[in-house]
Amino acid sequence: MELAVINHKGENTGRTVSLSDEIFAIVPNDHAIYLDVKQYLANQRQGTHKSKERNEIAGSTKKIKKQKGTGGARAGSIKSPLFRGGGRVFGPRPRDYSFKLNKKVKQLARKSAIAYKVKDNSILVLENIQFDAPKTKNYLALLSGLSLTDKKTLLVLPEENKNVYLSSRNLPKAKVVTVNDVNTYQVLHADQLVICEGSVSMLETILSK
């Protein structure tokens, strides 16, 4: 499969890149995508949630009323979860939500996510870009030239480019990553996947290991 390479103004450069069918045209595996996205979101959780149970509540341990003869239920402590201000029953405790996922499953998930973008014609190959200074207006001009101003975009760079990254940081719908940091969640979350020309061969190498 071949895609035309476009410049920052959205014009065809006359060059094309060949995309490997083993990477960009596989049959997507939805379960692998589910597992990879689940792991990604789980890893974002701090897991610092905590509520006090009855043994952690500050208060008297005195029996608040006699056992029998009141006409009501027995009550042994004001810290009971049944009373206002009491401890919580089985409340959340700090924990680690991360879990292990095999590398081959993660690799399959990324290839599946990219294959979906190819099927939806939501992938562009952009000639390599370079900004002289970090300016948001430069990145906005790039998106305007590609007619992607109102869409969520993921730009894949062949290597770290501080000026391009800083230029996009203030734009809520724009995300810039290097080819080594591409993940399934970000690919699926974006409306348009924009891959720099120099990133194509590197992406194929990473996903074919």
Taking the domains of the chain in order of start, what are their residue ranges? 2-46+100-207
What is residue 153's predicted lDDT score, i.e. its pLDDT?
A: 94
Q: What is the mean pLDDT of the chain?
A: 91
**Element (DSSP H or E) covering residue 34:** helix 30-44
Question: Among residues 127, 176, 136, 126, which one has the least CA distance to residue 153?
Answer: 176
| Token digits of residue 27 | 């049959």
Instruction: Give the pLDDT band of residue 6 (cuts 50, 70, 90).
Output: confident
Contact at 8 Å (CB) between 105 and 35?
yes
Instruction: Give the pLDDT band of residue 14 (cuts 50, 70, 90).
Output: confident
Write down the pTM of the prediction.
0.82
What is residue 20's predicted lDDT score, i.e. its pLDDT?
A: 87
* Mean pLDDT, rounded, for 84-97: 93
Instruction: Give the pLDDT band of residue 196 (cuts 50, 70, 90).
Output: very high
Question: Among residues 194, 97, 84, 180, which one has the least CA distance to residue 149?
Answer: 194
Task: Read off the pLDDT of residues 132-149 as tens digits, 9 standing for 90 and up.
Answer: 899 999 999 999 999 998
Specify the CATH superfamily of domain 2-46+100-207. Ribosomal protein L4/L1 (3.40.1370.10)
Contact at 8 Å (CB) between 171 and 144?
no
**Percent of the chain at pLDDT exceeding 90:** 66
Task: Read off the pLDDT of residues 95-127 as tens digits, 9 standing for 90 and up.
Answer: 999 999 999 999 999 999 999 999 999 999 999
Task: Read off the pLDDT of residues 37-80 as tens digits, 9 standing for 90 and up.
Answer: 999 999 999 999 999 999 999 988 889 899 999 999 999 899 99
Coil/strand/helix, residue 171: coil
Question: Position of tokens 């760079």?
Answer: 157
Residues 6+ apart with CB under 8 A from 179: 156, 157, 158, 159, 199, 202, 203, 206
* Mean pLDDT, rounded, for 198-204: 90
Rounded CA-CA distance 154/126 in Å is 12
DSSP string, 101-159: --HHHHHHHHHHHHHHHHHTT-EEEE-----SS--HHHHHHHHHHTT-TTS-EEEEESS
**Percent of the chain at pLDDT exceeding 70:** 100
What is residue 46's predicted lDDT score, i.e. its pLDDT?
A: 94
